[in-house]
Amino acid sequence: MSRIGIHSFVWSASSAQGDLERTLANTKEAGFDLIEFSYLDPANVDVGGLARRIADLKLGVAISIGLPADGDISSADKAVAARGVEILNETIALTRDLGGQKIGGILSTSHGLQTQAPTRDQWNRSAGTLAKVAETAKAAGVTLNLEIVNRFESNLLNTASQGLAFIADTGSDNIFLHLDTFHMNIEEADVGLAIRHAADKIGYVHIGESHRGFLGTGNIDFAAIFDALTAIGYRDDLSFESFSSKIVDENLSRKTAIWRNLWADNMELARHARAFIAIGLETAQRKAELVASRHRP
């Protein structure tokens, strides 16, 4: 069974000890198996203490980041690219130290709106660098999962198929796809078909609605998505991602253009999402069994 996770920004964008503790307690209380922390700064966090708390609560943990413009590993500027490698290596160490096995997010290039088309040189530099970083990650027991995001948040990888080509070019067996239903809904010809096409390279999935609010209240066809995940036998982690102007991270809220408050009560939102995903997966499984049943009278 897939573990069902939740993005920490549903609870809080703060790295203060008390807020992190509350985030873990809320995650558990809402019935999730895993917490995904974004942009946790190890310099400001008691990593050992947090790891113990995560283990005590029997939660899984994943870390996601988006590389900043001054830490873009695809850059021709060597200092900028080197800063990107440093950030990735710090993130690998943090993930390992918290007891996690996955890094997700925008790792191949910087996160944010670009106004120029990417070049093949950028692609090659990024793939070559990530191949090396993936070895460091492997030694730490951590996989790299490249989040495929829409055109307004990155210019390099916008479809799952582009991600597959990129992974092939890295030559690494420790790099996978991090798919996100919100982004796929914008860029893919067919979300279900794209999931089937990428099947064995999917390492992590974000479940988000078209407006990033309550699941089922936007225009994403989640039945088709749960059917596709069931058809490929996906048993890995799925995390609910939602943002509202209620909880603001100065950096991420702007890059992801969170201007409206789509919810105010995060516990209500989280409980609903947990149930929605669990029922969605269970229903897809029941449908798959029904269509395969060879009933004879």
Active site residues: 147, 241
Q: Cβ closer to Mn ion: 33 or 180?
A: 180
212 part of the interface to Mn ion, by CB under 5 A: no
Q: Cβ closer to Mn ion: 33 or 147?
A: 147
249 part of the interface to Mn ion, by CB under 5 A: no
Range list of H helices, the chain: 17-29, 47-56, 78-98, 120-139, 160-170, 181-187, 191-198, 222-231, 250-255, 266-292
Site string (172-211) toward Mn ion, x via CB under 5 A: --------x-------------------------x-----
The Cα 263–Cα 245 span in angstroms is 8
The Cα 233–Cα 102 span in angstroms is 19
CA atoms within 13 A of residue 51's CA, in its CB half-sphere: 13
227 part of the interface to Mn ion, by CB under 5 A: no
Q: Cβ closer to Mn ion: 237 or 241?
A: 241
111 part of the interface to Mn ion, by CB under 5 A: no
Q: Cβ closer to Mn ion: 136 or 150?
A: 150
- What is the DSSP secondary-structure string of 150-181? -TTT-SS--SHHHHHHHHHHHT-SSEEEEEEH
Q: Please state the closest distance from residue 181 (CB atom) to Mn ion, in A.
A: 9
Q: Please state the closest distance from residue 128 (CB atom) to Mn ion, in A.
A: 25
The Cα 3–Cα 94 span in angstroms is 21
Residues that bind Mn ion (CB under 5 A): 180, 206, 241
